[in-house]
């Protein structure tokens, strides 16, 4: 009985001292490496004008924060644009504060929304 009690106490201690959730802090702990990727960058106003001239409209945005933590300072913004002319075609850009530059990260086609029943299986 005493051994079982000790075992339970040790297990509770381990559970209380272990990070049991996924989130920005846990993702930042992986030994990932920063990769260079093909991007097209230019002055912010030039890129914005080009996107407008080519028929793209802003659809969504997301803020990137220092150290990838939700309570840190905003250091970049990712903006998704959709094409007015080509269904399912999107462009994602990144703007880093204070640089005056905007980069096109990638152009993709055949965009679709993942149905809820498939999300639940994963």
Query: Which residues in the chain land under pLDDT 70?
Result: 1-28, 122
pLDDT > 90: what percent of the chain?
44
Is the whole-model pTM more than 0.95? Answer: no
pLDDT tens digit sequence for 42-68: 999 999 999 999 999 999 999 999 988
Cα dist. 1→11, 12, 15, 79 in Å? 15, 17, 21, 60
Q: Return the pLDDT at 122.
A: 64
SS (H, E, C) 24-87: HHHHHCCCCCCCCCCCEEEEHHHHHHHHHHCCEEEEEEEEEEHHHCCCCCEEEEEEEEEECCCC
Q: Return the pLDDT at 120.
A: 75
Domain boundaries, the chain: 37-121
């Amino acid at each position: 009985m005493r051994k079982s009690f000790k075992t339970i106490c040790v297990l509770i201690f381990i559970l209380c001292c272990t990070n049991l959730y996924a989130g920005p802090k846990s993702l930042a702990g992986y030994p990932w490496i920063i990769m260079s990727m093909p991007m097209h960058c230019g002055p912010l106003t030039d890129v914005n004008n080009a996107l407008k001239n080519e028929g793209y409209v802003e659809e969504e945005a997301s803020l990137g924060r220092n150290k990838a933590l939700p309570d840190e300072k905003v250091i970049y913004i990712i903006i998704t644009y959709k094409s007015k002319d080509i269904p399912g075609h999107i462009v994602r850009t990144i703007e880093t504060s204070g640089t005056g530059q905007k980069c096109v990260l990638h152009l993709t086609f055949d965009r679709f929304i993942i149905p809820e029943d498939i999300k639940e299986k994963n």
